[in-house]
Structure 1
């Protein structure tokens, strides 16, 4: 897990980008609209929206909820699963809304589209985060940490 602000920003960025890329491809495939051009067109705006939701809306309450759960907080894996699961629930809640608005707009069927989208996204996003993206991004973070480029520099001038 990130140990300083620079690592936190790096980790959030790579997790967010990986999830947006994967979930965008999944949703395009699900709706029979997958093409590299469709994926690339939606990637940057989707990433920006997801990053803002993550940092400004979801992360703080998700972590508070995860830390309040009756789990063994001394076990790192329990905390990772709790925080990741809460983050996924929050992000799927907002990003499904974003996806429905982008795909269909605010129509009379918005709620139906949203509920369907929420559950189809949740069944993909949760295992994707817990089994692939989370472990891969934590590994990338550990390798980056070993290379020392993520360490925050001492700001004291000589």
Structure 2
């Protein structure tokens, strides 16, 4: 949907904001922190996570996902195929990296169980992918595409 680099950044920011809000709230609930943290502490945590997620999306995951999608043998003219394939690649990449962040964060906080590090990582990854993928496909992705298209149409109308 974005056609310029500036639009890609705005689109990425909107996607990250929606996904960070959902996934951070979900992880706060899983860890029992939703009842412990103050709203200001949650906001600070979400800002930090947003910055990390946006950097990962723009610098690592996004470019790799685009390369993978455009190298796959399917009809790229079909908008739905492109959206689903790119969203799938993005979610897998972002959940992978953000699960590493979660593992590091849990380790620092001392909340890791006595499981092996890889077992802990795959547990975190599995819990996050089962929420992140439906959230992206059913909620955040459609909402951001709708809002972004409205933003573009308003911007184009005001420049006439």
Conservation of the 8 A alpha-carbon contact between 2:9 and 2:58: no
Aligned mates of 1:100, 1:20 — CA distance in 2: 16
Deviation of 1:11 after TM superposition, in Å, equals: 0.5
For residues 47-86 of structure 1, what are the structure 2 equivalents within 5 Å?
47-86=50-89
Which residues of 2 match residues 3-82 of structure 1 at below 5 A? 3-35=3-35, 36-82=39-85
Name 1:95's counterpart in structure 2: 98
Q: CA RMSD in A?
A: 2.2
Please give the per-residue CA displacement for 1:77-118, whole angstroms capped at 9, x wherever unaligned. 100000111011000000010011112239774322211000
In the TM superposition, 1:116-127 aligns within 5 A as 116-127=123-134
Residues 47-71 of structure 1, C-alpha deviations (whole Å, 9 max, x = no match): 1111111111111111111122232
Supply the distance in 2 between the matched residues of 1:112 and 1:90 (Cα, whole angstroms): 18
Q: Deviations over 1:7-59 (max 9, x none)?
A: 11110001011111110000111122114344313111101111111111111
Query: TM-score normalised to the size of structure 1?
Result: 0.87
Alignment counterpart, residue 146 of structure 1, candidates 142, 153, 160 = 153
Query: Residues of 2 paired with 1:22 and 1:111: CA distance?
Result: 25
**TM, length-normalised to structure 2:** 0.86
Distance 1:78 1:37, change over 3 A: same
**Are the counterparts in 2 of residues 7 and 150 from structure 1 also a CA contact under 8 Å?**
no
Give the number of the structure whose residues are more often helix, by fraction: 2
Note if contact 1:96-1:114 (Cα within 8 Å) is conserved in structure 2.
yes
The count of aligned residue pairs is 152
Does the 8 Å contact 1:14/1:137 carry over to 2?
yes
- Point out where structure 1 has 5 or more consecutive residues left out of the alignment: 154-158
Gaps of 5+ in 2: none
